[in-house]
C-alpha cells in the first residue's frame, strides 16, 4: 500500500455534498459536508471542485504536499508531480445517477440538473487530472462489502434510502456495473402492488385478500386494485409512473403521509413532516404516523423481495437517512417472507456500519 497516496472521495447527493480524504493506510484525514446548490449545474461543479482544492490544502500532507490550484494552467501535465511535491490526490465521485457509456453525459440522475451534462469532463478540466465517477449506490455497496456490514459476504446488495432511492451490487468484492451501467437501479422499477392505487386510507383494514401488502397483518391498507379511473400512480421525474423511488425516498414518505392526512396537494411541501418526525410521532403513539410507517415497511418489503427473487443476495445493507429507522430491520424481513419464492429466506437485512458516509468512502476507493 502506498502510504504517500492521498485519495479523495466525493458523494454528490441531492441535498448535500460530502468529501473525504483517505491516507495511504485508509485512515480518514478529513471529512466535510456542504449543502448542494439546488438546480444549478455549474454551481454544483464549482462546489465540488472547490471542496477538492480545499481538502488538498487542509490535509496538505500534513504529510507535506501543497494543494493544486483550482485553475491551473491548461497545458500543465497534472499527472506529473512538480519539483519538491508528491503527486496530488486521486479523486472519485459518487453521483445519484450514471454516466452514459455512449455519450459520457450523466443520465438517470434524481438531481435533474446533472442530466445531460458532461460532469466528468468539466471536473477534469477544473481539477486538471483524471476523475472517476460511479453511481453513489455502487460506492455505498463497495464500502459496506469491503469492511462494513457486508464484509465477508459473496453477494451484497447496497440500498440507499434518502433524497432518492438507489441500489448497487457487489459480487466477490467487485462492483457489478452492467452492460448499460444500470446494474442495481431498482429505484425506477414500478413499485409492486401499487397499480391503479388510490390515495392511502388512514383507517385500519382487518384481514385481507391474501395478495395486498398488509393482507392479514392487521396493519393499514393503501392499495385498491382494479378500481375505475385509470392509472393514478404518481409520475416520477424520469417520466415513468409509480417508481419505487416515489414511495421509498424521504420525499416519497413525506408525500405519502401528506396524502394520508388529506393535506391539499397545492400546499407547500416545506410544511410536510420529515421522515424523522413521522418516526418520532409514531413512537409517541400517533396513529396516522404509525400507519404511514407500516405502509412504508410493507412497500420496502415487497420491493426488496423482488431483488431477492432475482439476485438472491447474502446481505442487503441499507444506507441513507431513512435507514436509521431501526424498526425496519425487524419488520421488513418479517413482511418480505410472503413475497420471496422460497421456503425460507436466508438473506440478512443489515444497517450500514460506516454511517451515511459509507458512500463517500466507496468513492475514494474507486482508485485502488
Q: pLDDT digits over 315-345, tens only? A: 999 998 999 999 999 999 999 999 999 999 9
Residue 312 lies in a domain: yes
Do 196 and 339 lie in a common domain?
yes
Count of structural domains within the chain? 2
pLDDT in tens, 118-144: 999 999 999 999 999 999 899 999 999
Decide: helix, strand or coil at residue 91: strand
Distance between CA atoms of residues 92 and 175, nearest Å: 14
25 shares a domain with 94: yes
Give the least confident one: 28-32, 230-234, 298-302: 230-234
The verdict on residue 67 lying in a domain is yes
Do 244 and 209 share a structural domain? Answer: yes
Dihedrals phi, psi of 340, to nearest 5 degrees: -95, 135
Looking at the fold, whether 111 and 201 belong to one and the same domain comes out as no
Are both 132 and 15 inside the same structural domain? yes
My answer on whether 132 and 181 are in the same domain is no
Expressed as residue numbers, the domain containing 248 is 170-352
What's the rounded Cα separation, in Å, for the pair 115 and 117? 6
What are the phi and psi torsion angles at 243 (to 5°)?
A: -60, 145
Residue whose entry in the numeric block shows the C-alpha cell 468539466:
122
Within-domain flag for 158 = no
What local confidence, expressed as pLDDT, does residue 203 receive? 38
Q: Is residue 156 part of a domain?
A: no
62 and 139 share one domain: yes
**What's the pTM?**
0.76
pLDDT for 77 equals 40
> In CATH, what number is assigned to the domain containing residue 249?
3.30.420.40
Instruction: Give domain status of residue 165, yes or no.
Output: no
Per the prediction, the chain carries an average pLDDT of 83
Same domain as 35, residue 98: yes
Helix (H, G, I), strand (E, B) or coil at 271: helix
Q: pLDDT by residue (tens digit) across 156-210?
A: 999 999 888 999 999 999 999 999 999 999 999 999 988 655 444 443 333 443 3
Helix (H) or strand (E) holding 184: none
> Distance (Å, rounded) from C-alpha 140 to C-alpha 160?
8
**Residue 264 is assigned to a structural domain of this protein:** yes
* Position 154 in a domain: no
CB within 8 Å of 145: residues ≥ 6 apart: 151, 153, 156, 158, 170, 173, 317
Q: Is pLDDT above 50 for 216?
A: no
8-52, pLDDT tens digit by residue? 999 998 889 999 999 888 889 999 999 999 999 999 999 999 999
Mean pLDDT computed over 210-214: 36
Report which of residues 33 and 2 the model is more confident about: 33
Element (H, E) at 358: helix 358-364
Task: Say yes or no to pLDDT of 85 above 50.
Answer: no
In this structure, are 176 and 291 located in the same domain?
yes
If asked whether residues 214 and 129 sit together in one domain, one would say no
> Which residue bears the cell 413525506?
254
Say what percent of the chain tops pLDDT 90.
Answer: 61
Angle between helices 250-260 and 275-283 (to 10 degrees): 60
Is 141 found in the same domain as 58?
yes
Mark whether 91 and 190 lie in a shared domain. Answer: no
Amino acid at each position: 500500500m502506498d502510504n504517500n497516496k492521498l485519495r479523495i472521495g466525493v458523494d454528490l447527493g441531492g441535498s448535500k455534498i460530502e468529501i473525504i480524504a483517505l491516507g495511504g493506510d485508509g485512515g480518514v484525514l478529513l471529512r466535510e459536508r456542504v449543502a448542494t446548490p439546488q438546480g444549478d449545474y455549474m454551481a454544483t461543479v464549482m462546489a465540488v471542485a472547490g471542496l477538492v482544492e480545499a481538502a488538498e490544502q487542509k490535509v496538505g500532507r500534513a504529510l507535506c504536499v501543497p494543494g493544486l490550484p483550482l485553475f491551473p494552467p491548461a497545458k500543465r501535465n497534472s499527472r506529473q508531480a512538480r519539483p519538491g511535491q508528491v503527486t496530488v490526490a486521486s479523486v472519485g465521485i459518487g453521483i445519484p445517477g450514471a454516466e452514459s457509456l455512449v455519450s459520457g453525459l450523466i443520465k438517470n440522475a434524481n438531481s435533474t440538473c446533472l442530466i445531460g451534462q458532461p460532469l466528468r469532463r468539466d471536473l477534469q478540466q477544473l481539477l486538471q487530472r483524471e476523475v472517476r465517477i460511479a453511481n453513489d449506490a455502487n460506492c455505498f455497496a463497495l464500502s459496506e462489502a469491503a469492511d462494513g456490514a457486508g464484509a465477508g459476504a459473496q453477494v451484497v446488495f447496497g440500498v440507499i434510502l434518502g433524497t432518492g432511492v438507489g441500489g448497487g451490487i457487489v459480487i466477490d468484492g467487485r462492483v457489478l456495473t452492467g452492460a448499460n451501467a444500470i446494474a442495481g437501479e431498482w429505484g425506477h422499477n414500478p413499485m409492486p402492488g401499487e397499480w391503479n392505487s388510490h390515495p392511502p386510507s388512514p383507517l385500519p383494514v382487518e384481514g385481507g385478500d391474501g395478495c395486498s401488502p398488509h393482507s392479514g397483518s392487521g396493519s393499514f391498507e393503501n392499495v385498491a386494485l382494479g378500481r375505475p379511473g385509470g392509472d393514478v400512480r404518481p409520475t416520477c421525474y424520469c417520466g415513468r409512473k409509480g417508481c419505487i423511488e416515489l414511495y421509498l425516498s424521504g420525499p416519497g414518505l413525506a408525500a405519502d403521509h401528506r396524502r394520508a392526512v388529506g393535506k391539499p396537494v397545492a400546499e407547500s411541501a416545506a410544511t410536510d413532516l420529515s421522515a424523522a418526525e413521522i418516526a418520532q410521532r409514531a413512537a409517541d403513539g400517533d396513529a396516522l404516523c404509525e400507519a404511514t410507517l407500516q405502509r412504508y415497511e410493507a412497500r420496502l418489503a415487497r420491493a426488496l423481495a423482488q431483488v431477492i427473487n432475482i439476485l438472491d443476495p447474502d446481505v442487503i445493507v441499507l444506507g441513507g437517512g431513512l435507514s436509521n429507522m431501526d424498526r425496519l430491520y425487524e419488520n421488513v424481513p418479517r413482511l418480505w417472507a410472503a413475497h420471496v419464492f422460497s421456503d425460507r429466506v436466508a438473506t440478512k437485512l443489515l444497517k450500514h456500519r460506516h454511517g451515511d458516509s459509507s458512500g463517500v468512502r466507496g468513492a475514494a476507493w474507486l482508485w485502488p
